[in-house]
Structures are given as structure tokens and as C-alpha cells.
Structure 1
Amino acid sequence: MLELIARSGATATVPERYVEHFAEQLRGGLVRPSDPGYDTVRGVWNGMIDRHPGLIARCAGAADVMAAVSFAREHDLLLAVRGGGHNVSGNAVCDGGLVIDLSASRAVHVDPVGRTVLAQAGATIGDLDHETQAFGLAVPMGVVSQTGVTGLTLGGGLGWLRRRYGLSSDNLVQADVVTADGRLIVAGPEDHADLLWALRGGGGNFGVATSLTYRAHPVGPEVFFAVVLHPRSDASGALRFFRQWQATAPEEISALGVLWHAPSIDEIPAEYHGSPVVLYLALHCGSPADGERALEPLRGYGSPIADLSAAMSYLDVQQYLDADYPAHTKRYYWKSRFLGGLPDDAVDLLIGLNDAAPTPDSTLDLWQLGGAMSRVPPGDSAFGGRSAPLLLAIEANWEHARHDDACIAWVRRVYAAVEPYASGGEYVNFPGFYEDSEAVVRSTFGQNLSRLTALKRRYDPGNMFRLNHNIRPD
């Protein structure tokens, strides 16, 4: 008999013969705690997460996923779903339950004539970009290439193309999904269109996506990328300028204003190493020449301590931040709030909070929103927060467990302090550890919540897929 964890949290006892039969159904294989490589397979990107699943189903395709979902349902097991394993909350794995691991399913197929891309559920942004850029195309994705495309898309998907071509989820045209009853269905514009609507920002509440099909757009191979740092002494002016500039910037530009501490690199004068700074990051997705001209006002403000802006390949831009977010070796805790604006007192507040950051790698990131992503009517997809002009991402990033309490406390302090400026919930891909999930679901999904709840009842009435910003069927 094997003791696992049930959805209720109680112990579920499963006869060994059922486990053996399940293993025989899997082309990808079943990993148990006693198997070689278990510790490697259970690991995820966030080094803070140290969970021990009872079983890990290494799914090689949709048939494996169907078998795994059916096994979990029949034995009432706690179920986690792993795509790229990059979700900061770590809910791609669970203690004692069953993990559906899709990380080996990474194939990407591009139709350069129809400008569509099919990606298997374990594909990363890097996998997708590698294939699409061979044809001068790109799908709007996130800003760290190791991120899995599936989880990112189901939560919306903010990246460097958001203002020109929308969110990742806005470009999702079809999905193969295994639902809680073990069926594989195709959610598209004609069949199960309601499910496709829910997948565009509603998270992993409705099933296991085994492949996603996207629209692609002409981007690259070269673009212009602005990287400009300003000192703490001009932080107030730099943020106020960013606030003014981003409100009227062309849609080809997607930018971030980042409160950070300067890294110790040769391109930055040594006297600023480790000191608070304001960093501008901005991509123009047109030609490099057009981008350089369009980004000149941002680069021309004040007296920066470093300007690392350059024309570079789109692939290099997509990997520019990768080194700052290594897998397994760093610990991460992130939350977010959509902001209705950035008045002067909010600017001063953020500067002080950045000064108090517990580690130099921690950041406060102001994402410029608007453009194409804001023109999608609220009822056309599940994603919330389209009307907000800015998103504040609150990132604690650190290396040692002894800093856990201080880093988590700082994020929660910032999250509470900016509440007066908040508008419309939070970005569900930066979820913390799903604290007060029900309140966040209500504020984030707003008028779409009742429709999402009805779809949850239809596709997952037993709430099998609950390790997320959970939309309860009741």
C-alpha cells in the first residue's frame, strides 16, 4: 500500500497494484521517492521550494496526461501540474500528492505562412523564440527565457511585445486540454469557445493544457533595447519623468521603470555599486533605427550613470535578464498590484521602500501597460487589469535561507503600503504564496468572476485543479 495525500489533506492509501498499473500506462514513466533522480525531477526554478511529491508522472503526451488525471480522480489525490516549473509560488509541485510533469514535452512547430505556432505544454520561452525567430516571427511572451509558456499564458503573459501585440493569452487561438474527467478536448473559436475564453488569463483552473496554438507577428531579427541607469540622488526626478514619458510613448515600445541596487559590473562606475538606482528598460519592436529614434527622449533625460542601450537581436533581448533569475540557486517571493496612477507621494514612497530592500537583488518594477493589451474589451477574455496604466511587481530575490523572513516581510510591507494607489487586483503570475486567494480572485477577475465560476463548475466541479489562484466551483 502506498500512502499519498488526498485533495482534502487527509491520507489516501492506494494499493500497490493500482500504482503499478498506472505506471504501465505511462510512456514517459513514473518517478517515486525511492527512484534515482527523484530529487532532480521534483526541483523547480524557485530555490525556496522544497516539496516532496508522492508520485511524479513524467508525461510524454496527452495520453499520459489523461491517464494521470484519471488516476488522481479515482484515488482523490492532491494534484499539481508542472509545465516549465518557473511559477514563483512553486505550486508546480506538492507534498505527498501526484505531480503531472510536462517539462519534457517541449516541441514547437511554426507555420510561417499562416503565422501560427503550436507549442507543447513543457516548452519554454527560449524554445518558442528559437523556432519563431528562424522565420522572423515572435509570439508575445515574458521577459525571462527559461519561463514555461503554458503557465505564463494561462495567467495572461506580460512581456516586451505587450503594448504592440497584446498579452500571450490574447494571442492564444487554440488549446488541447485534458479536463477533470480525463477527456482531451480542443478549445478553439468554434468548439469549447467558452473554455478558450477562460484559459486566456483564468489560470490553470480548468484542466491540463497539453499544447497551445498562438498567432505570431513579424519581429526582429534586430530591435533596439534601451538600458539606462540613474543614481539615487535623481531617483525622484527619474521616476517622475518615466511617469510622464510612458503615458504617451508609441505602442511599439514596452518599458519598465525599475527601482534596484546597482550591480557590481564594469559598465557601471564603482562608486555606485550596491547603491539604490532607477533603471529604465525599454524595447522598441520595430526596426533598430526607428527604435533608436523613438527611445531618444527616454535616454536623453537627466545625467545617467550608465547607458547600455544598443541595437541587438530580439533573442538577446529575450535572454537579457536570464542571468538575474537563475534556477534552483536563488530564492524568490513576488507579489504585484495594478496601479491606477503614480502620484508624487507614491513616487516618494517607492523610493523609500527600495532603500529598505532586504537584498540588493530585490526590485520594485513599474510595468508600463496600455496599448494593444488595453484595447481588448474586459469581457473578451478572463484576464483582469487591462484598464490600469501601470503594474507594480514587488520582487524579493535572495540566496540564503536565513534571509527568508526579512524578504517575505518586505514584499508584504510594500504590497500593503501601495494599497491606496491600487486598481483592479493583481497579476496572477506574480502570486506570492496565494495569500488570501479568494479576495485576490474577486478583485482581479471582477465582472468576469461569475462566468469563470460557472465554467469551473462545468469543467472541474470537484476542484481537482486547485493549486493556483483558485476559482472555486461553489
Structure 2
Amino acid sequence: MATLNELKHALRQAAKATPHQPLSETQYSAGFQILIQDAGWMVYKDFVIPQLSRLLTNQYASRTDISVLEIGPGPQSVLAHLPSDLRRKIKTYNAVEPNGLFAARLGEQLQPTTQTELPLPCLARPVNICRCPFVLQDGVESCANPDSHPSDRFDLILFCHSMYGMKLKHTIVEKALEMLTERPQPGLVVVFHRDGLLLQDLVCHQIASYPAGAVRVIDNNDNLDSFASFVAGYTLPDASEENTIKISWRGICRSLGCLEKGHLSFSSPHIMMGFTRHAAALQELKAQMPLSKRSKTIKNRESLFQSPACVVKPTTIEHVQDCVRWALTRGLSLTIIGGGHSGHCLLSNVVAVDLSAFDQVHILNADDTGEVRGLSDASASLVVAEAGSTVGDVIRRATTAGVTVPLGARPSVGAGLWLQGGIGHLARQHGLSCDAIVGAVIISVRTGQIFCVGNLPNKHMPAGAIRPEEEEDLLWAIKGAGTNFGIVISVTFKAYAAATYLTRNRIIPLDTKVEAEQQLHSFDTSVARKLNRKCSADAYLYWNADKLHLGVTTFECSTAKSTSEISTTIPEGVLLGSQDEVRIVDDIGLFEADMYMSGMHGGHGGGKTSSFKRCVFLKYIGEAEIRGRLVVAIENRPSNLCYLHLLQGGGAIGDIEGRATAFGCRDWHFACVITGVWPREQDGTALARAVQQWVYDVVEDLLPLSCGAYGADLGPDPRDAALAAMAFGSNLSRLVRLKSRFDPNNVLAHACPLSRAPMPKLIILVTGESCAGKDHCAELWVSVLSRATSEGLLVRAVSISDATKREYAEATGADLHRLLGDRSFREQHRPALTAFFQEQVRQRPNLPQEHFLDVVRRVVGVDVLLITGMRDEAPVATLCHLVPESRLIEVHVQADARTRRLRRGCHDDELDGRERKSESDSTTSVDSALLNHRPTFIFDNNTAGNERAEEFAEQIILPFLHRDLERLADMVRTVSDFPSSGIEFRHVLGIAQQPGGLALCTSLLQEHLKHDWTNFGAIACCEVGGFVYASTLALQVGVPLILVREAGKLPPPSISVAKTPSHISSAASNGPKQYQIEIERDAIAVGASVVVIDDVLATGETLCAVVQLLHKAGVSTNHIRIMVVAEFPSHRGRELLRRRGFGKVSVQSLLVFPGS
């Protein structure tokens, strides 16, 4: 699919000899409306609005007033779509909109006559819309309010897709920078634009990309005519020529667009750039050190298409410190160039630091290492490698001393490799590159100081270096995530004795998909798994000469002197195919041993191709599901040069526990490198983009079956987020904390992303007995939820018990494929499988929680996750604190014993003791009564057909995804350090102060308590938060309101219990640790059901006391329902209710917030 920029160029080329004229306001408006519909609006929804919200939140969190100048907003201001708390901060709004039609509509939007809620509700003065172009000379003053002074300054100047017709864009941004405020926080110029905007010599404060942007247009002549004129930027005055060009333009659109369902689609990648007044501070840095000729050091083709603000080349450590201090004082970021292979070592409008001057490699033999502090093996040699050296530099220098370091397979790769893992042919024998790191010299990006960590030779410690207090944490972090925590100047490796190696290549042509899968299975089970750790075997799946091929290269540490002494590694007959030459090589010769260098497609090492790679870790490539997906991936390649490289892991890689270093993914047998390749002359074309997207598509397909992802290739591209979330295993949370400590200003903002991946909005635990129909219901609900919302939510169902089955199969040799898919086979193993899991839990008591978190982390990007196969007691209460950003509910599926027997052949998991007992029971659905907790919902699945299950999803589950809940959440303001330091206070009661807030909250409370209100005898609430929301609800549904108050505030007779202060109350004061609360004794009728309404559920102390009070008043636990406006799962309030004996009380909440 072509980009809009490519389409624009083609349209203009077709009409370059024809006179043209600017679009009229009406024509421009018609084209603009086409552009922002459908996929075009998704750019705003998924990129513009979230990025702008993030920028303003970070920059103006403590501000209550913001002044805005918006240049070219069009018919609507994007600011009107920001969250409520940000919109309320905007006190002054000015706009420059030269299109009269747009200006009129903008005024109607921002100053409506009929709308009850204003888009910008807190403006201190009327909106000022200037109907003129934004010009550089005397027109600047016209954008201010007529009553204001020309020197007015703005906190935010916004160009949201409004620079396309402007010339001298660089100069316009510079002029806008002069109009920014400086205090109390520096102002921002924010630019949203299609990718490719060049603003030379300006340095970004923030930058983000959105490669998934697209535009769709209906494929009919009228739409295409308007669309093509808008993209080209003009129309034709001559009617006869216009008709001819229109026909030509339609053909161009149809040839370059991707036709699907009557629409033509065009790629439209977008960028966001945020600038402060420091954007022009580049000359200060340039004056302090040399500049670099980047073409000599950059190997990555993606990076070569970037236009960095400049590339500096420090030659001393002091120069590097100057770079850091320059960035820190101006709130700017840096990229780092080591070997130049990273796709994000250069970024447009960001300063790059080229470390190629630091290229020394030093060898310390055993006699030299005695001085090294803390070195456990005094006889070991050490290799000190500076950050500008490459793998080839290190190995060539080391082999002269008879030693080696387990580095990667390409000689030109730099320090980014060993700081982020380092997978090479010696990894099975010696471990990863990062495992060999014993010390490092690092420039702190928090202070600019020189840090020394770990075991360092004294003579390689720079003058002025210090050991930080967090030395252990920093050394841990750089061993796997080292590009994120400082600028590494050098690392010290533990060295190993150099050796020679036998390498063999074998190529197997494959005639069918079945044969391909069989050969992958044979390679995995009969070759790879049988090799000792001194051997490794790599596989390549690729297409050549109109046929699929499997290539295999084996590497073996050897003492052979000639090929005549060689013994075979691969058993004969296991893999059929031709065997190429057998070679004996040293560590340097290993660089040329990979099959892709010479054995595939004529060799990929000649520089005539470009490539794009991402890597996921797999356990068993011979498994049916994995091998099938690998073959399909190659079948769907967009270029015949694409291939999959499967590097064998295991051995020493797994000897190190996952938490011992930042590189947390250890339990894998193959690193699957999805390699997209295209001819070099196709750089930047649709083919190159298609190949990159193919890589991401294969990653998305394999990631749910993977053991993690490799972080070395990952950067700020949002498509990397799913991989980055799985790149560090269980270490991600610790790394996020350390990132905020060692790089609090995000100087290294463009390294492998270290942020918690967005959790699913809704997690549904589908529980129930064997053959109740859990899996069937889950899959059905996936279908219903996927098609039910206009936003196109991503919904997925997974089984949590698959992890246990995989571990059991690995431990016992049982057929995993049959364990997952063959019920009768699984039932044969049921007793052993159950015993295996129980023994695991005995040894690892937190295993159920680990399995739960693992399932959640693996489905990055999913909006709704349904989990089956869970047997935990009260799972919402015990697990919700682990996913505090997600709403967690339990749907218990039940069916009577007779129905379950009839469904014996259905796809399900366990058969437990309760199910066996109920076989002899009556045909009623009794299993929910046996539970010791109250599920969120119970679905009776005795009826044949799908209608009732579909109805349940639509009426019960879908309301949790309703837009009104998001509107309600937007009304909750966040206040930092209130009522005491360290607390992020959510002002839930503030909803009632928002226009329409109380009515909306009342409506949602009524909607989510799906019961006949005549069945409730009372609504109870505790002062003061509960009073606000319970009273309006009681009035709405006509149910009596029962007030719970502090003792002494109600007339006798009353019933009272002791209550501990709530979380916020205890933080706000030094009041009494306990006091009494009460209700009137006869307020509730005997046997009545009661709904308890409160504003917040945090620790649960308040609600525990209220439930205890109701219980004392004669209300049974089964007749109490709790509904709160906002829940804070981190405080484990549900668990407290359960511990105190109230586990059968139903608890629901409208909103869920992490933190305090």
C-alpha cells in the first residue's frame, strides 16, 4: 500500500504540465471530511489525543490554568476530546483558522448554544478565532485576543496537521517558540504531521511515531475526485483538462491504494514533535566537541533515513559528561551510537552521541587480575572493551591472547549487543554476552557523574569515578537492559579459553507443508535436544528456487586438526538433504559460518540487501502449533528473500536464574529471528514497508506461544511495545523502578521501552466444573464482544492450565499436543497431572499467581481477556491486586450433573472431586452453592444452543465496556501528595461537582446492579462519601435509605460496631485509631436484602465494619450486595472482606484505579 506522500507525488506528476488553482474553502472542506473519516479518525483517537494528553499531563500536572494558541485547528479543536481534567485547565483559547467555513464550525463547537456541557468549560474569557493565515511578519499579533497585548505568551501552541501548506516550516516553529511562556513551566510547541517532516537544527523535547496510521476512501468517482484534489493540494481551472486529469487521478488512486470492502486504503504514518524554547540550543553543544560524519558508522538502514538534530563525536569522557549535562539542563534526550546497527541510534530532531572514538580493547591475564576487587576467579583473564569497539574488535584482540568472549555472530555489531543480552554460537557453552560482564564504567544520566560498578581493574578506572550507592542494582540492570541506565563507556568481561569449531551445513528441499513440519519436528526432537552444550544447531526456514527449504548449521567445539578426524553430530537419516562442506574454524571464522552469509539466496553478506529483524524465544519448535505457524509465516512472505533463523539456546543460558540479571528470559530453546529482507534499491518503498509489517505480523502470531522476546532490536516504535513487555520476564517491574531512579529525566528515552504494558481493560475469569461449558462460553463471548462495539475491541480467550500441561510434558515426556487437544488422553494423565501441580505449588506457593500474571503479560494489546481453567478459591479477591489497572470479574458457569455428562466430549480441562461427587446428585445446578465465595456473576448453562450465552454477554458483560464508564473516570481528578506525601489522591467525590456527573453516576449504579429493586429492602451508606451517591440512587429506585453514622449522631435505640479509619482518613490525620459506627436498630426489616453504596473500596476497613453492622442487625451475608463508585485493588480490600468471613458478600465497582 502506498503512503499519502507517495500518492501526492504521483498525482502532482500526472498534472505537472497543467495549470492549477488553489482549492476553494468548500472543496477543501469536502476533501478534509473524507480524510478524517473512518481510519483517518483512528489516527486522532489512537495517537493524537493520547499523545497530547500525555504531554500536557506531564508538563502541567500541577497547573490549574493553561493558555492555548491553536494554529489551523480545522472545523473542530482536538482539545475538545481531551480528558475532562485537562480541558478544565484551559483558561485561554486562541485560534488561527484561515478557512472561513472551518472557523465558523469551530466557533459553534467551542461556544455551543444548546449543549449543556462546554468542551472547554473553564475559559476565563471568550474564545478568540482569528480568520487569517499564521504568518511570520506582522500577522502574528492577529492571533491574540483583541484586548490582549501583542507580547502575550502561550503555554501551548498547537499545530495539529496544519503545516502542510506552510512554507519555511522550520522558521514558523522558531517564531512560535518565541511566543511561549517560560514560567512556571516552560511552554510547548506541539506539531502533529505525517511522517517525513524536516525541521533542521531544532531539537525535540518529546517525539513519538504512529506507523499504523492509514486513510480510507470509498471507491467511487465523486469521492476519489474530492480526495485526489485534496491530497494534491489544488484543482484545475480548465473544465476539459480537469476531466482528463480527474480520470488519470482516479486511476492513480486505484493503482496505488489497497482495495478492501469497497474502500481504498493508503498508509499514513504520523509523528508528534514537542518543542520547548531549548529547541534552538544546539549551537551551545556543537561548540564543545567534534561532530561526526555519521555515514561512516551507521549500518542500520532505518536509521539512515532519519535526520538527527546533529551527531556529536566526543573524544573524552568529559565530552560525554558535557553531553549529558547539556541534555539535563534543557530537558532533552539523546540517542547513542555504538556499532550503528540499532534502528533507533538516530532519530529525527534528536541529538546523537557517537562513541566510536572509544574503541580500545584491553586484555588482562591472570597476573593482571589480582588487583581487581571482588573477582571470584583470580585465575580468569579479563577483557576490557570500550563502547565504541565492535564484536570483531573484541574477538580479534582476544584471540591473540588465546582467549575469547561469548559475543554475537556479526563482527560489526557494537556494545548494544552485549548490554542487552548477546546471543551467539558460544552461548550454550558459556552463556550470554551480558552474563560475562563483571564490571563497567558508566556516565550517569541523572547527574553526569562517572560511575564504576562491579569488578574493574584499577588502571581502567577513570579519574574522578565513584561507586554509586546503588552499585549492585546498576550492575544488575546493565546485564540485559544496559542501554537504558546510563551511557556505558566500557565493560569488563570474564574471558574463556579460545577454541576451534567444526561447522556443517545441510540443506533440505521441502515439497509440501506437511514435510516441512515433519522435518522441523525431527530437527527439534532428534537433533537439537540431543546435543550437549558444547554443540549447537541452527535452523533456517526460507524460500528458494520456487520451493521451501530447511537449512541446518551445526557448531561443535572441537579438537580436530583436519576434516578427516571429524565425527558426525547429526544422526544419519534423521534429516534428509545435501550436506555442504565441513569446516574447521576459529572464533573469527565463526563470523562467516552462518548459512545466511553465503548459503541462502546467494548470500546476504554482500551488502546488496536491506533487512529488518525482530526476535522471539520459543521452547519447542517441533510442537504442532508452533511448527505450523513457522511454515505459514514463510508461505506468506512478501519477499522471497525473507527467512526465519532459529538459533539454539538452552545449556548455560538456562543455568542462570531469571532474576539474577536483567535478562530475565532464560527458559527457551530457540531464538526465532524473523528476518525480513528486500533488495537495497527498494529501500523506503511499499515493498520495504510490507516486509517490515510481515515481521510484526509473524511476531504477533508467535508471541502467545513464546517464552519472551529479545530486547536488543526494540525501540520507540509503538509496534515494539508488545515485544518489550515480554523482553525481561518477571524483571520488568524492577527495571521500571530502576529506570525512574537512574534516568528520572528520560535522557535515554529511545532505548528499548521500559514501561508496563497496558493491561486489559477487562479480565474475565470463566470458572466452573468440568464440562459445564466454560471454554465454549468463553469462545462464544469472545465473538459477541469482538463485534459488539464500534471501537473494534481486541478480545481473546486463553487457558491458564496450559502452562502446567507444558511443564508436566517436559518433566515426564508426555505428548504435549495430545495433552492440550485430546480429552481422553488428558484424562488418563489426570491423577499424575494433578499430583504434579500440587507438588509444584508445595515447592512454589505463589505458582498460581505466577501463572495468572504470565497469562496476562502474554496477551499484550488485548482489551478484554477471558481466562479459563482456573481453580483458585475466590480468584477475584486473591488476584485483583496483581492487576490493579484492570477490572477483574468472575463468571461462574454452572450446569447440572446430567448436562455435564452429556457434554463429556466437549473441550474443557479439569475433573475434580466436587464434579465426581455431583455425578450422583440430582439434576439441579448445585455447584455454585458449594462455593465459599460469591462470584461476580453466575451463568446457568443448562440450556442447549447459544442464545442465552449471547444474551448474557450483551446484557451483563458489555456494560463494563460502555463509553459512559470512561466519561465517569474522566471526571475523577488526580491530586498528587494529598492528603500526605506519596499519595496520588483520586477525587471521587468530585464527580458530583461536574456538570451531569451525579446523574451519570446514579444511572450507572442502577444499570450495573441488575436486579428488580423491589427485592431490596434498603440501601445503606456510610458517611460521608456514601451519602452523596446513595441518596440520589435511593430516590431514583424508590428504596429506603439507611444511614450509617458515627456513634452518638443517631437517636436511640441503635446498633453499633467498632470501625478502623479508612486509608485516606488515617493518612490525613492523627485521629483515633478506632471509633464506633451505628445504625438505628429497627431500620431494616428482618430478612431484607440490602445494597451498600460507598464512594471507594480501598483497604476495606469501612465496608467490613458496615457489613458487620448489618450482620448484627440480622441481615445475612448472602443478602448483602456492595457497590462502590471506585475501587483501588492494590489495597486488597476484597481480600480483607473474605478474611473476616464476608467472602459471600457480592462486591462490584464502577471504576478501577491503580495506586492510592
Deviations 1:233-286 (A, max 9, x none): 353333122101211211011221110234xxxxxxxxxx46421111221124
- Residues 326/54 of structure 1: CA separation in 2 closer, same or farther (3 Å cut): farther
Alignment CA distance shift 1:328-1:296 (3 Å): closer
SS at structure 2 position matched to 1:347: helix
Paired residues of 1:46 and 1:330 also in contact (CA < 8 A): no
Matching residue of 1:428: 711
Query: RMSD of aligned C-alpha atoms?
Result: 2.8
What secondary structure does 2:740 align onto? helix
- Contact kept? 2:303, 2:345, Cα under 8 Å: no
Is the CA contact 1:334–1:432 (under 8 Å) kept in the aligned structure 2? no
1:91-110 equivalences in 2 (<5 Å): 91-110=344-363
Q: Give yes or no for contact 1:42–1:53 (8 Å, CA) kept in 2.
A: no
CA contact (8 A) 1:44 1:328 kept: no
The Cα shift of 1:469 comes to 1.8
Select the residue among 690, 694, 698 that pairs with 1:406.
Answer: 690
- Pair 1:53–1:126, CA change in 2 (3 A): same
Instruction: Encode CA deviations 1:139-177: one digit per residue, 9 max, x unaligned.
Output: 0111111111x1001211100100000000000011111
What is the SS of the residue equivalent to 1:378? coil
1:315 alignment partner in structure 2 = 588
Give, as a single letter, the amino acid of the residue that structure 1 aligns with 2:560: P
The 3 A distance-change label for structure 1 pair 134 and 457 is same
Structure 2 residue aligned with 1:67: 322
Question: In structure 2, do the counterparts of structure 1 residues 14 and 421 end up closer, same or farther at CA, with 3 Å as the change threshold?
Answer: closer
Which residue of structure 1 aligns with residue 738 of structure 2? Answer: 455
SS in structure 2 at match of 1:160: coil
1:358 matched to 2:630? The reply is no
Q: Deviations along 1:304-325, whole A, 9 cap, x unmatched?
A: 2342322123211123345755
* One-letter amino acid of the structure 1 residue matched with residue 305 of structure 2: D
Q: Describe the shift of the 1:365–1:459 C-alpha distance in structure 2 as closer, same or farther (beyond 3 A).
A: same
Distance 1:15 1:258, change over 3 A: closer
- 1:238 equivalenced with 2:519 (yes/no): yes
What is the TM-score normalised by the length of structure 1?
0.87
Structure 1 residues 310 and 319 mapped into 2: Cα distance closer, same or farther (>3 Å)? closer
Q: SS of the counterpart of 2:335?
A: strand
- The answer to whether the 8 A contact 1:203-1:469 is kept is no
**CA offsets per residue over residues 31-86 of structure 1, 9 Å max, x none?**
5xxxxx46x25843335741111121112232221111111222222311110011
In structure 1, C-alpha distance between the alignment counterparts of 2:631 and 2:721, rounded to whole Å: 31
The correspondence of residues 70-469 of structure 1 with structure 2, limited to 5 A, is: 70-87=325-342, 90-113=343-366, 114-148=380-414, 150-180=415-445, 181-188=447-454, 191=467, 192-220=471-499, 222-233=500-511, 234-244=515-525, 245-262=527-544, 273=545, 275-288=547-560, 295-297=568-570, 301-321=574-594, 324=603, 330-342=609-621, 343-399=623-679, 400-401=682-683, 402=685, 403-423=687-707, 425-431=708-714, 434-469=717-752
Query: After the TM superposition, which of the residue ranges 150-159 and 97-106 deviates more from structure 2?
Result: 97-106
Q: Counterparts of 1:25 and 1:396 in 2: how far apart (Å)?
A: 40
Cα shift at 1:412: 2.2
- The offset of 1:203, in angstroms, is 3.9
2:580 partner letter = D
Q: Give the partner amino acid of 1:444.
A: A
For 2:713 and 2:279, locate their aligned partners in 1 and report how far apart those are by CA, in whole Å.
38
Q: What is the aligned residue count?
A: 450
The Cα of 1:111 is off from its aligned counterpart by 1.6
Alpha-carbon distance in 1 for matches of 2:678, 2:518 = 28
The alpha-carbon deviation at position 331 of structure 1 amounts to 2.5
Secondary structure at 2:383 match in 1 = strand
* Alignment correspondent of 1:34: none
Q: Distance in 1 between matches of 2:455 and 2:313?
A: 30
Q: How many angstroms apart in 2 are the aligned matches of 1:360 and 1:79?
A: 37
**192-201 or 252-261: which moved more?**
252-261
**Bigger CA radius of gyration:** 2
Q: Which amino acid aligns with 2:442?
A: V
How does the TM-score come out when normalised to structure 2?
0.37
Instruction: Kindly indicate whether the alpha-carbon contact (under 8 Å) linking 2:504 and 2:555 is maintained by their aligned counterparts in 1.
Output: yes
Q: Deviations over 1:420-458 (max 9, x none)?
A: 4222x2011243864355543433323212221222122
Question: Partners of 2:664 and 2:427 in 1: how far apart?
Answer: 14
Helix, strand or coil at the partner of 2:736:
helix
Distance in 1 (alpha carbons) for counterparts of 2:755 and 2:449: 21
More off after superposition, 228-237 vs 297-306: 297-306
Does structure 2 conserve the Cα–Cα contact (< 8 Å) formed by 1:434 and 1:468?
no
Higher deviation after alignment, 273-282 or 132-141: 273-282
Q: Quick check: which one's helix share is greater?
A: 2
| Residue type of the alignment partner of 1:463 | N
What residue is the counterpart of 1:268 in the other structure?
none
Aligned-pair distance for 1:328?
7.2
SS of 2:349's equivalent?
coil
Matches within 5 A, 1:20-31: 20-26=283-289, 29-31=290-292
CA distance 1:76–1:241, shift in 2 (3 Å): same
Aligned equivalents of 2:320 and 2:715: distance in 1?
A: 27
Distance 1:435 1:203 in 2: 21
Residue identity matched to 2:549:
V
| Deviation at residue 11 of structure 1 after TM alignment | 2.5
Segments of 5+ residues of structure 1 without an aligned counterpart are 32-36, 263-272
Amino acid at match of 1:44: K
What is the deviation of 1:138? Answer: 1.0
The alpha-carbon deviation at position 232 of structure 1 amounts to 1.6
Say which SS state the counterpart of residue 726 (structure 2) adopts. Answer: helix
Q: Which moved more, 1:155-164 or 1:237-246?
A: 237-246
Give % identity: 24
Which amino acid is 1:60 matched to?
A: T
Q: Once structures 1 and 2 are overlaid, which stretch shifts more, 331-340 or 117-126?
A: 331-340
User: Contact 1:47–1:329 at 8 Å: present in 2 too?
Assistant: no
Supply the distance in 1 between the matched residues of 2:484 and 2:741 (Cα, whole angstroms). 11
* Paired AA for residue 570 in structure 2: P
Q: Is the 8 A contact 2:618 2:669 kept in 1?
A: yes
**Which segments of 5 or more consecutive residues in structure 2 lack a partner in the other structure?**
1-173, 175-200, 208-272, 367-379, 457-466, 757-1154
Amino acid at match of 1:246: A
CA–CA distance in 2 between the matches of 1:361 and 1:104?
35
Q: Is the 8 A contact 1:201 1:383 kept in 2?
A: yes
Cα offset for 1:287? 2.2
The one-letter amino acid of 2:411's match is: S
Any idea what the Cα deviations from partners look like across 1:81-138, whole Å, max 9, x if unmatched? 1100112xx1101111110111232211112334110111011111111101112211
Cα 1:295/1:47, change in 2 over 3 Å: farther
Q: Name the residue aligned to 1:269.
A: none
CA–CA distance in structure 2, aligned partners of residues 314 and 347 of structure 1: 32
Answer 1 or 2: higher relative contact order, Cα 8 Å, separation at least 6. 1
Whether contact under 8 Å (2:616, 2:672) holds in the other structure is yes
Task: After TM superposition, give the deviation of residue 329 of structure 1 in Å.
Answer: 5.3
Q: Distance in 1 between matches of 2:325 and 2:571?
A: 54
